[in-house]
Amino acid sequence: MKSGFGNTKGGSPTLNSRAKPLKRPTQARAIFTVEAIYEAFVRIWQRDGWSRLTTREVALETGVAIGTLYDYFPSKEALLSGYIRHRLDVLLAQMDQDVIQPTELDWQTRIKRLVCLTCNPDDARQPLFNHAVSLIEHQIAESRHHSRVYEELSQKWRQALAACSDLPTQPSASTIEAWVIMAWGGRRYCITAQPTAEQTAAWLSEMQTMICSRLSSISQDEARADEH
């Protein structure tokens, strides 16, 4: 019986090639088409569930030829993989737009926005970052994919902290990386544990308070060291 994975290398399974998108759109028309495919994909999944979702149905609902869809996505696993990458790109762009680029924000507001974007498992802008996806994640993600996401998030967090020009003292790179693990790892566990909305809100608030308090503490420690 085939497991959906290809040959193993060094003890680590590799995905079947059909679980990977064939290409990413670059021209405006192709980008529009693929985004329409993603929208239909989300609607069908939410309506019918993963087991009943087919690439043919996605093509029909999108209004594109099945061959056009197969130019990008040879299977529904490849479609899911492409969609997750697309939403991660959107998340990183939101961090740029809402956290890094604004010039009028004080550092506390900037950090709270950063934490919320990273942590919130109920963000309506990420409709399939949910428990259903976590159950089949092994079909679309390899270790290197997780490593890439971690590096990209760490880079955005470093940029966000660097944008805090009113923050007296910058945290170390290792501290920022630890926060990323804590924030993104917590979000992923929330998706698994499925806490109530109230519990999730309390966790988000605590994460914001904890990191802001830690940043204030770092600055105060640095100020006391300068005094001596």
Per-domain boundaries in the chain: 16-74, 78-228
pLDDT given at position 111: 97
pLDDT value for 223: 54
pLDDT in tens, the chain (228 residues): 333 333 444 444 556 667 889 888 889 999 999 999 999 999 999 899 999 999 999 999 999 999 999 999 999 999 999 999 999 999 999 999 999 999 999 999 999 999 999 998 877 766 566 777 888 888 888 888 899 999 999 999 999 999 999 999 999 999 999 999 999 999 999 988 999 999 999 999 999 999 999 999 986 665 555 555
Which helix (H) or strand (E) element contains residue 114? Answer: helix 107-119
Q: Which two tokens stand for residue 121?
A: 């498992």
pLDDT at residue number 133: 83
CATH class of 78-228: mainly alpha
User: Superfamily for 16-74?
Assistant: Homeodomain-like (1.10.10.60)
Are the CB atoms for 55 and 69 separated by under 8 Å?
A: yes
3-state helix vs strand vs coil in the chain, percent to 5: 70, 5, 25
H, E, C per residue of 67-95: HHHHHHCCCHHHHHHHHHHHHHHHHHHHH
pTM summary value: 0.84
- d(C-alpha 207, C-alpha 183), whole Å: 8
